[in-house]
């Protein structure tokens, strides 16, 4: 369980930051976090591993039990699966933001493709023994 100071930090951040929860042992998820960091020079997003104490507490606070998803917490609301991915893409630099046009497709249709990738992510992309470790250059982007 996270200590009270870590929870306080999270509660303060939740009001002002966009937080992405990700599967810290998933190679695809780790690659996506690195991609987001490179395409988010405004540093809009902070990152939390789903497996961390803070990640577990955030899931509980938002009444979420999905560890098979990228989750975006923004303006104290949570978004998951393809909706989270598209909302994140919309705010990144480069052509990736064009993917946001797919938001017009109902989420139950978009999430079919998302679920296939999520279900097979370890088999297709691999799994690491531990969560992604931030570098000294991006340490401030991670809530640990």
Residues of the chain with pLDDT under 50: 1
Domain positions in the chain are: 4-138
Per-residue pLDDT of 95-130, as tens digits, reads 999 999 999 999 999 999 999 998 999 899 988 876
- The CA radius of gyration of the chain, in Å to the nearest whole number, is 15
For the segment(s) 4-138, the CATH number from 3.30.2010, 1.10.357, 3.40.30, 2.30.42 is 3.40.30
- Strand positions, DSSP E, 12-76: 18-22, 45-49, 71-74
């Amino acid at each position: 369980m996270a200590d009270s100071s870590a929870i306080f930090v999270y509660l303060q951040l939740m009001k002002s930051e966009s937080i992405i929860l990700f599967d810290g042992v998933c190679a695809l998820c780790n690659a996506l976090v690195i991609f987001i960091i490179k395409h988010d020079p405004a540093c809009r997003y902070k990152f939390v591993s789903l497996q961390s104490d803070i990640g577990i507490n955030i899931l509980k606070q938002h009444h979420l039990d999905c560890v098979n998803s990228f989750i975006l917490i923004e303006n104290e609301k949570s978004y998951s699966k393809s909706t989270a991915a598209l909302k994140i893409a919309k705010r990144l630099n480069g052509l990736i933001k064009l993917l946001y046009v797919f938001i017009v497709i109902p989420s139950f249709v978009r999430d079919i493709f998302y679920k296939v990738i999520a279900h097979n992510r370890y088999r297709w992309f691999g799994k690491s023994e531990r969560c992604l470790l931030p570098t000294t250059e991006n340490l401030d982007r991670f809530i640990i």
